[in-house]
Amino acid sequence: MEMENHIVDPIMPKHVAIIMDGNGRWAKQKGKIRTFGHKAGVDAVKASVSFAIKNDIAVLTLFAFSSENWNRPVEEVRVLMELFKLVLSSEVKKLHKNKVRLRVIGDISRFDAKLVDKISKAETMTANNTGLTLNIAANYGGKWDIVNAAKTMCAQVQDGKIVLDDISETLFHSYTCANDLPEVDLLIRTGGEQRISNFLLWQLAYAELYFTDVYWPDFSEEVFLQAVTNFSERQRRFGLTGEQVCS
């Protein structure tokens, strides 16, 4: 059964992660400055959230700012931070109304106090919502996530709270960001590059990867639908043979 931008499919991904790339090139193509592209990208964020809600996707994780992005021109970083604040101010109430649980993953201690406060208020306000979990990765790095988990775990060994033999993949996972969320089923990257750029590393272990040349500001519910349709046609084998999976 198919409706417009809404597919009822038993193999819909539970957790979709997106590397929202191509804002700068989108703007350049139009003869505008890079930050024009970031501003235009906000509409694509709204479209992706709307698609996720309509299609009962449980978790949507969006890569908004990487730990490496601090090295961009100061003015670009400033605009991105302002934009983050602006979007939080204008969208959180609507998200709350739509039962969205908003969370931010990443080292937010490097953000200014105003932004940290807005993030914390948005998380508290939406904490008990039962609809889509919208995870924003901000000042996030996959290596940071893993090192952070290792550090916390080692501290607990040192304090005698756990012993070396307790360490397992399951335990390690419990110290990583998004430890309470399902593994990523589908990773989408816009903007034509085919790389992970230090996004979720641990959590992507068995994700299906989908790359599109579409620049992020042009991402739409249609493009999301194409990605999800492509995902639903794949056979996920998790190390088994195709025959084992089918039986």
List, by residue number, the catalytic residues: 21, 69
How far is CA 204 from each of CA 14, 56, 162, 172, 184, rounded to the nearest angstrom? 13, 21, 27, 15, 6
Point out which residues bind ligand IPE (CB under 6 A): 19-25, 63-66, 69, 80, 191, 193, 195, 197, 216
Rounded least distance, CB 37 to Mg ion, Å: 10
Rounded least distance, CB 47 to Mg ion, Å: 19
The entry of ligand IPE, Mg ion, none that residue 25 binds, CB within 5 to 8 Å by partner kind: ligand IPE
Structure tokens at 224: 């999301």
Rounded least distance, CB 191 to ligand IPE, Å: 5
Pick between residue 119 and residue 223 the one whose CB is nearest to Mg ion: 223
Structure tokens at 205: 């272990």
Quick one: which segment of 21-29, 37-45, 136-144, 198-206 binds Mg ion (CB under 5 A)?
21-29
Residue nearest to ligand IPE (CB): 24
How far is CA 12 from each of CA 15, 56, 156, 164, 234, rounded to the nearest angstrom? 9, 9, 38, 38, 11
Quick one: which segment of 13-21, 51-59, 97-105, 232-240 binds Mg ion (CB under 5 A)?
13-21
**Count of residues near Mg ion by CB under 5 A:** 1
Rounded least distance, CB 24 to ligand IPE, Å: 3
Pick between residue 19 and residue 153 the one whose CB is nearest to ligand IPE: 19
Residue 21 lies near Mg ion (rule: CB under 5 A): yes
Pick between residue 13 and residue 22 the one whose CB is nearest to Mg ion: 22
* 63 beta partners: 19, 137
Say if residue 4 is exposed, middle or buried (CB neighbours under 10 Å; 0-12, 13-18, 19+): exposed
| Total count of residues recorded for the chain | 247
Pick between residue 153 and residue 184 the one whose CB is nearest to ligand IPE: 184
Instruction: Please compute, for residue 209, the number of CA atoms within 13 A of its CA located in the half-sphere on the CB side.
Output: 15
Where b means 16+ CB within 10 Å and e means fewer, 225-244 reads bebbeebeeeeeeeeeeeee
Residue 199 lies near Mg ion (rule: CB under 5 A): no
Say if residue 220 is exposed, middle or buried (CB neighbours under 10 Å; 0-12, 13-18, 19+): middle
The entry of Mg ion, ligand IPE, none that residue 69 binds, CB within 5 to 8 Å by partner kind: ligand IPE
